[in-house]
Structure 1
């Protein structure tokens, strides 16, 4: 286990500072900042981390390094951040799987509820229900009927157990009353590769990575999982209008820090990140990706985590999902 230490900041509360450290230090950030993306490069989390990281780097005048650490549904990278020093130089691109669906695991070597603190909720986005072109379903209703005719005959891939793409699939099966086989991957990019190759048949993928694949004819988009249409996929109807009126499943991405980061520094990280999200160019890019900018405060993010945890815990319990 890494030894934790708190960097002295000019605005940090004295009671939060270790006595062994001297009284002088450079203002934050005085060296590169690392954002750990707990999934492989190429997925939505990676795309968003690089977008935000580039603008934070320009704002801070320091390099922001994107560090992909995939594995265990995002928990390998998340644990590294949870165990990192509380100096603000190691941050996490978090997801539903880390912050709201951790009950899927019978045991974890860290506690995401107490070892990680939200900086902000960056963005929320629907998923796209996509299939390999060989699947004989051209609408969502046809996919549901096909899955009913072939219980367990279709396989849906995800970014990992407990990820938003997994949870969207589980909720879909519960609402539609169908059964498919779940295939977890080490990130969406690997799952998409197998979907394009035809090794799996279905995915509930975050919208930002889907348009290029759809335009190339590599996948067929049947619907989006929001209540409203998505500009990035204008021909895809919302699932609520395409056969599942009670099915809404949005994904969301966060910026998080070790919970031992002092409150003033956490607030500084929030202020700077929200300022970046409010830049017109960033908002335009998020819209192009099919994502909705959030930029919540620290306290709003905590409440959001609690509400989403309740929602997805119910899905996990209903499906009796457990990962050892």
Structure 2
């Protein structure tokens, strides 16, 4: 009888193991099949800005090599409006299957802090896929200002509180927030002069309407510096950047002070992890290609991939930092 019980017990154990293995396989197989199948149709990358800008240009530079990596058509769809809010909300409401992606910049983090229309949460409504590019902010001044270093400019501004004007592309723009942060870290008081867009800000500092500008790098801006029409004092990149020739990192004067515009790829919240991994792998491989690095640099940006976790940490840190800046600057959502 005991032998029979042992035999039955062994059979039951074996049966249990078979069932457990089958159950585990049932859980794993759909994920494996989904990862292998994705993508099985075209992918749309939504750029929440008009055609022709840096964000749009970088997305289109990635388009063809990304198609080759994924084996599917990649469509670039411009959905501008309400300072990128319209396109961003469109992707937030899209199916979480990896076929509709968002390609924003830092505006993803800033808009919810300054716009009532931005009824989305960057850390809740999206899942990071990868950082794509970095573009350092640079500190430039009118050539008539008697300063050749960041510290000399800070000293000059401290001696003239409320007399140093700076330009930005508009209220609550990245340029304004960056300049307010610079002023607070430096202990100086600046006067904000808003303009409609980036091009007029460069003209303003050229003519002397304003004395200072924190702006993204560009071949045009570098040209004015080379000609001596503007003076570049520093770059917001952690180290010296090829995009800002000769500029000293601002963090050498203001420790841990880094200012960079980022561009990245995100998916709607709830997108399966294996799909995010597949997309991240493709992005990393594309951005590692020498020709893509060169094309990005010619567009005034650096190719820079990351893991989803690294990109998510960057978004979280910036959200906390800009929340403080907006509050201290007294900027109210409009």
Distance 1:184 1:63, change over 3 A: farther
150, 172, 179: which one pairs with 1:169?
A: 179
Residue 282 of structure 1 aligns to a residue whose secondary structure is helix
Structure 1 stretch 309-318 or stretch 265-274: which is displaced more? 309-318
Instruction: Check if 1:236 corresponds to 2:259.
Output: no
For 2:222 and 2:140, how far apart are their aligned partners in 1? 11
277, 298, 315: which one pairs with 1:267?
A: 277
Deviation at 1:274, TM superposition (A): 1.5
Q: Which residue of 2 aligns with 1:179?
A: 189
125, 129, 138: which one pairs with 1:128?
A: 138
After superposition, give the CA deviation of every residue in 1:206-261 in whole Å (9 maximum; x if it has no partner). 235543554566644221123422223222222234x5455332332211122243
Gaps of 5+ in 2: 1-28
Q: Which residue of 2 aligns with 1:258?
A: 268
Distance 1:216 1:35, change over 3 A: farther
Please give the TM-score of this superposition, normalised by the length of structure 1: 0.74
Structure 1: 4+ residue segments shifted above 6 A: none
Deviation at 1:128, TM superposition (A): 0.9
Q: Which residue of 2 aligns with 1:295?
A: 305
Alignment of 1:140-155 (within 5 A): 140-148=150-158, 149=160, 151=162, 153-155=164-166
Distance 1:75 1:187, change over 3 A: farther
Distance 1:160 1:193, change over 3 A: farther
Deviation at 1:132, TM superposition (A): 4.7
Distance 1:58 1:162, change over 3 A: same
- When you count helix as a share of all residues, which structure comes out higher? 2
Residue 52 of structure 2 aligns to a residue whose secondary structure is coil
Distance 1:284 1:133, change over 3 A: same
Alignment of 1:1-324 (within 5 A): 28=39, 30-31=41-42, 33-38=44-49, 41-43=52-54, 45-59=55-69, 60-65=71-76, 67=78, 69-72=80-83, 74-99=84-109, 102-105=112-115, 108-133=118-143, 138-148=148-158, 149=160, 151=162, 153-158=164-169, 161=172, 163=174, 165-182=175-192, 188=198, 191-192=201-202, 201-208=211-218, 210-212=221-223, 214-215=225-226, 219-241=230-252, 243-245=253-255, 247-286=257-296, 291-324=301-334
Gaps of 5+ in 1: 1-10, 17-25
Distance 1:151 1:113, change over 3 A: same
Please give the TM-score of this superposition, normalised by the length of structure 2: 0.72
**Over aligned residues, Cα RMSD in angstroms?**
3.7
Deviation at 1:32, TM superposition (A): 5.8
